[in-house]
Chain A
């Protein structure tokens, strides 16, 4: 407590981005060390990485397009986490949102163009929210740890997807396992012709602002954060913490569902196939953590991860460096950002003598179990 409060606030504002930038630096350093160790010139690799991500207008558009579902998934994580609920089932919720959204796009014909897309997206949101709602309900009413249930429900969703594209939703007369082609009326219109970038980029940016505003400036957001900061205090203040936490998980699932529906309805292939959501669920979580759970910071974090992925392809083509190396970068970044954020949090909580109740079990026994 030796320093004045104002300097502490200023330093804490800078510490967050510093942690993230450091983690990214470590992640990239590890990857380029591996590249150099392998005998490939790191300079050329970096150039290829950059060219692949932003070298041409088309590539930059693809990078931005790739970052959009990541931003949505990250927002989903952030909303749930602001109430300290951990939703690791975002991938499953994306898949369910994609399936339900595709159903609405394919089997509700005759709706005029902008409305059809809107309906399909809404159905996708509802699908993801309901799927997360199962885990939320089990948590609230049966005390089932939401981390475990959402994690395992990913695998149920994967099997569901594998079945629907092979069975009931399979397009007739094609060999591969995929749905029929999404009608034009339910597709996102292109923003840049012949590129994967659609006008949903505006929606995503709008949603980031909305979520940030919702968390900061609405009663719901305050209840979420209060529940997350201290359940007992929130309850004492009259917040219905169980329903607020359930809402948090369902909004989180809805955002993931929107990401899933958007991937199908805005995808270049114009169909739903088995792997449409693969890797976005986990990557979105990395984005949220890299952004240190700040909604606006999710945008640069998502762009960074998307550019690594996008650039990785060209790096592989030019130098033969496996594109999977970007996963190593991601893993290292994730570990360092959570590790150092935890250390910083700990150090700061000692200095200002606030110990956020971390000694208590995370899964407290529920008293208000409805049986």
Chain B
């Protein structure tokens, strides 16, 4: 399997973890009608404050908890301005992002600059007994850091809460039918508060995973756009839990692959095979689910485009030419895919109806 070995799978899961954690928070918040552009800032808060706590206290889980609380604190600012003053969510999100970068980088420099760098012991990998000795699967899935397991275990929980509990119904109502929710005696504004705080805690955990979880150090702007990647994953997953999972795996896989390919002079054949397979599978899915509408330009473009990508990749896989793709292409791919998916889905993209719309009561 060449570059797609157990180590790649393990790296993919690790790269998907922060996206999944922050993405679940963002999914809940977007389903409640709040688009949270400040995710990146909340992740930075989690990353910095958990690192700072880890240099002061001994328990790494205590540090992670501090990171989550820090994420929630910034989320509370977001909630106050976007809900209580009804300010524009996007603008408040930008403010939260700027604040997140500003506070963490100035505090980090103030507290740690000019001293020998403190590298704390990152979280140990948890080898699942017995399972970790299975060939391939053991290395790929069962020798991860604990947060990775937590992230994937939380996914069905989030699904259950969103679709099988009254809380979930309330959350979805706040995003889709806030007036109806209010009539039913719920408070969409309180629900949105709770959803934003949840997003803050989850982003804080995601950030803590990056700093104390993986490397044991904080660096300025170390989240490096992962907050926006998580935002893209929620949208690419069309606001569904399963969609979020696939999006995070795809984006995480691309990140892991890109790191892998940097050492190689040319693109190995198996990458082309994978691209051809993914294009083929998506094409098959589209054909089975919706068929081809010969009168619809978008449907034709989608079908032809997928077929063209698949065939090109297949030809490349057979010919194995000496070319390499720039690593930037892999890094830009998640964002391109998300925009393409939105364009293809068009008006059918199932965004919550009241996403980014402030809730204003008639007479407060």
Interface residues of A (CB under 8 A from B): 38, 86, 88, 138, 142-145, 147-149, 151-153, 155-156, 159-160, 162-163, 166-167, 282, 285-286, 289, 322, 324-332, 334-335, 338-343, 346, 358-363, 365-366, 369, 371
B102 pairs with A328, CB closer than 8 A: yes
- Using CB atoms, name the residue of chain A closest to B297: A371
- Using CB atoms, name the residue of chain B closest to A155: B335
* CA of A178 to CA of B94, assembled, Å: 29
Measured between beta carbons, the chain A residues less than 8 angstroms from B329 are 159, 163
B336 pairs with A335, CB closer than 8 A: no
Q: In the complex, given contacts A88-B37, A343-B86, A360-B357, what are 7 additional A-B residue pairs having Cβ atoms less than 8 angstroms apart?
A: A148-B338, A162-B328, A163-B326, A324-B109, A330-B102, A331-B96, A331-B97
Measured between beta carbons, the chain A residues less than 8 angstroms from B109 are 322, 324
The stretch that binds A, out of B146-154, B196-204, B276-284, B348-356, is B348-356
Q: Looking at chain B's contact residues, is the secondary structure mostly helix, strand, loop, or mixed?
A: helix
Interface residues of B (CB under 8 A from A): 35, 37, 77, 81, 85-88, 90-92, 94-103, 105-106, 109-110, 113, 220, 225, 228, 231-232, 235, 296-298, 326, 328-329, 331-332, 335-336, 338-339, 342-343, 346-347, 349, 351, 353-358, 360
Measured between beta carbons, the chain B residues less than 8 angstroms from A332 are 95, 99
Given contacts A38-B110, A159-B332, A285-B94, contact A335 B99 (CB under 8 A): yes
Q: 10 A-B pairs, CB-CB below 8 angstroms?
A: A38-B110, A86-B88, A163-B326, A332-B99, A335-B92, A338-B81, A338-B88, A339-B87, A359-B357, A371-B297
A335 pairs with B106, CB closer than 8 A: no
B105 pairs with A155, CB closer than 8 A: no
Given contacts A148-B235, A155-B335, A335-B95, contact A342 B342 (CB under 8 A): no
Quote the shortest CB–CB distance from B220 to chain A (angstroms).
Answer: 8
Cβ-neighbour of A142 out of B103, B326, B342 (below 8 A): B342
Measured between beta carbons, the chain B residues less than 8 angstroms from A282 are 94, 97-98
B355 pairs with A363, CB closer than 8 A: yes
A371 pairs with B335, CB closer than 8 A: no
Measured between beta carbons, the chain B residues less than 8 angstroms from A88 are 37, 90, 94
* CA of A21 to CA of B2, assembled, Å: 61
Cβ-neighbour of A325 out of B106, B113, B353 (below 8 A): B106
* CA of A339 to CA of B92, assembled, Å: 8
* CA of A346 to CA of B358, assembled, Å: 12
A327 pairs with B105, CB closer than 8 A: yes
A324 pairs with B332, CB closer than 8 A: no
Quote the shortest CB–CB distance from A289 to chain B (angstroms).
Answer: 6
Measured between beta carbons, the chain B residues less than 8 angstroms from A340 are 85
Quote the shortest CB–CB distance from B71 to chain A (angstroms).
Answer: 16
Quote the shortest CB–CB distance from A359 to chain B (angstroms).
Answer: 7
* CA of A185 to CA of B253, assembled, Å: 46
* CA of A328 to CA of B97, assembled, Å: 10
- Using CB atoms, name the residue of chain B closest to A285: B94
A156 pairs with B336, CB closer than 8 A: yes
Measured between beta carbons, the chain B residues less than 8 angstroms from A144 are 339, 342-343, 346, 349
* CA of A362 to CA of B97, assembled, Å: 23
Measured between beta carbons, the chain A residues less than 8 angstroms from B102 are 324-331
* CA of A295 to CA of B96, assembled, Å: 25
B356 pairs with A149, CB closer than 8 A: no
B228 pairs with A155, CB closer than 8 A: yes
Cβ-neighbour of B77 out of A86, A162, A289, A335 (below 8 A): A335
B339 pairs with A138, CB closer than 8 A: yes
